[in-house]
Amino acid sequence: MNEFECSVCGGPEGKCHPNCPNFEVSSEEPDFFRYLNGIIMTAADEFFVRNEKKVAKQLVVERMKQFQEDWDEITQFVQAGRDAGVFRKIEDILFFLHNPDKYKPLYLIWLELEKPQKDNKADFNLFKLEALNRRK
């Protein structure tokens, strides 16, 4: 955009479109339509700014909820992995957090077995056996 163009209508400097809020009326009489146009443009701008903030806040809240749900699942997987002997040291857990793709096959098995924990003996033993077989 040329620096001498109107930022609203794109007309050259001093020659805005008559419906542009930046249009200068040469007569001393008030232009009712220009006045209404200015009010409508201001209201529309305020509406869109308010709506944009509302949508942005909603997105942040939804992302936070999704993060919490994902984090709960990750901690359950880490707990099952620790109980199965996959994660023996804190370094193992940190390695998992930095390189989750390396544990994807084991994670998929854990999901397939419906996220077993130590208190569910049958499914957890199957998960533990699979984890030990993959470690070798």
Is residue 62 in some structural domain? yes
How would you class 92 by CB atoms within 10 Å of its CB: exposed for 0-12, middle for 13-18, buried for 19 or more?
middle
Residues pairing with 5 in the sheet: 12
Is residue 60 in some structural domain? yes
Angle between helix 32-83 and 121-135 (nearest 10) = 80
Identify the domain containing residue 96 by its residue range.
51-135
Is residue 15 in some structural domain? no
Radius of gyration of the chain (CA): 31
Is residue 113 in some structural domain? yes
- pTM (whole model) above 0.85: no
State the chain's mean pLDDT as an integer: 85
Query: What domain count does the chain have?
Result: 1
Residue 20: CB atoms within 10 Å: 18
Q: How confident is the model at residue 29 (pLDDT cuts 50, 70, 90)?
A: low
pLDDT tens by residue, 59-93: 999 999 999 999 999 999 999 999 999 999 999 99
Token digits of residue 86: 């996959």
CB 87 within 8 A of CB 93: yes
Q: How confident is the model at residue 1 (pLDDT cuts 50, 70, 90)?
A: very low
